Amino acid sequence: MKELELQIEELMGKVNKLEPILDISTKQARLDYLIAQSKVEGFWDEQVKATNISKEIGDLTEEISNWQSLQDNIKELTELSQLVDAEDLQDDLENKLASMNQQYRSFEFLTLFTGRYDRNSAIMSIYSGAGGDEAQDWTAMLLRMYLRLAENKEWKVNILDESRGSEAGYKSIVIEINGKYAYGQLQGESGVHRLVRLSPFDADHARHTSFAMVDVLPELNDNEVSVQIDDKDLRIDTFRSSGKGGQGVNKTESAVRIVHLPTNIVVTCQNERSQAQNKETAMKHLRSRLQRLQEVTAEEEKKKLKGELTDAAWGNQIRSYVLHPYKMVKDHRTSFSVTDPDKILNGNIDEFIEDYLHFKRQTNKCQ
């Protein structure tokens, strides 16, 4: 029983050390401020802003409540372990301790999210590389992997735009992934993904190498965007949608394409039910891309001043998935690898996500 008491004491010590890192007091102050804002008359006059605030209130309330629950449960467990008849409760106490250790690890995982947009939802684009049907099928395989991941995490996914391949897969596809910390967890997926396998499209079943590019952006609220978009800098085209979206989607020009003329950035949305919805979603995507461009440009200027060189984005191969002649998935940034690609392609990529986040934090510390 003494060993159990020591384990409980050790967990309490780790929790006490973690609290200032999670900055619970600042989060509580933020929550109090937002609740006060929500009670101001006319709060719902600006529905988008009000909805975002309400969502943040919900997220903060849940996080703070779970943290308080963990602390209370540890105190209760400590008291139970010190009872005279605690030996009779040992199995139950050990199970509760295991559950609390799991809770602690979930909070410890949150300390990896220190970026400005890490709590946000994400916009993910997947583009096939050279290789025709082979590469387009690989794009579809990656899409399936991320959809399975989202399902496991209970994130909601909405297809914004898609361009299907002539025989299989996708030339490109853009999806919106709504969930707490979706961007924080998926940011490390940006880059080139390489597949090596026996081709199902080759009569000789020869080994082929395919590439696909993944790009992940945070979904930004209006108050998170510093770039200004002038209406005169936009060209907005409408056309008939070729994707899903309900009856009549192909009969009206509901799809929207927006070109930002100064940067030549093009965004398209065709899978919402109305032209107005498609335009709103496309503008949200455009704001995120322009914000990313502004921040990347600023970062590149800093690197030039330091005399650093940056690699072209398309050459930034981050992960290889080898199905033949051996089985392996390897992240080339962290050197982390596994020998079960089927598991990974079924959406179980949490090990890669966490390993990259640890790598990123360590890299930032060394800079």
Residue 27: alpha-carbon gap to chain centroid? 21
pLDDT-based confidence at residue 341 (cuts at 50, 70, 90): very high
Residues 6+ apart with CB under 8 A from 56: 34
Residue 135 and residue 2: Cα distance in Å, rounded? 59
- Provide DSSP, 91-108: HHHHHHHHHHHHHHHHHH
Which residues does residue 188 pair with via DSSP β-bridges, in sequence order? none
Give the count of beta carbons closer than 10 Å to the beta carbon of residue 218.
Answer: 23
Tokens at residue 53, please? 């605030």
pLDDT computed for residue 313 by the predictor: 45
Which residue has tokens 């880059």? 191
8 A C-beta contact, residue 166 and residue 97: no
Main-chain phi, psi angles of 193, to 5 degrees: -110, 130
Residues 6+ apart with CB under 8 A from 203: none
Tokens at residue 251, please? 């009969």
pLDDT-based confidence at residue 51 (cuts at 50, 70, 90): confident
Strands 207-218 and 191-198: antiparallel
Tokens at residue 24, please? 């619970």
- Over residues 15-37, the pLDDT tens digits come to 999 999 899 999 999 999 999 99
* In the predicted structure, residue 311 carries a pLDDT above the cut 50: no
pTM above 0.85, yes or no: no
- The full set of domains in the chain, from first to last, is 2-110 (1.20.58.410), 119-191+199-315 (3.30.70.1660)
8 A C-beta contact, residue 121 and residue 157: no
Residue 288 and residue 225: Cα distance in Å, rounded? 8
Residue 271 and residue 252: Cα distance in Å, rounded? 12
HSE value, Cβ hemisphere, 13 Å, CA-based, for 176? 19
Residue 189 and residue 157: Cα distance in Å, rounded? 16
Question: Average model confidence (pLDDT) for the chain?
Answer: 88
Q: Which of the two residues, 246 and 181, has the higher pLDDT score? A: 181
8 A C-beta contact, residue 318 and residue 193: yes
pLDDT-based confidence at residue 332 (cuts at 50, 70, 90): very high
Query: What are the start-end ranges of the H helices in the chain?
Result: 2-22, 24-38, 47-81, 90-110, 133-152, 182-186, 275-306, 341-345, 350-366
CA distances from 339 to 181, 186, 268, 324, 330 (A): 28, 22, 38, 12, 9
34-50 average pLDDT score: 92
pLDDT-based confidence at residue 315 (cuts at 50, 70, 90): low
Main-chain phi, psi angles of 252, to 5 degrees: -125, 155
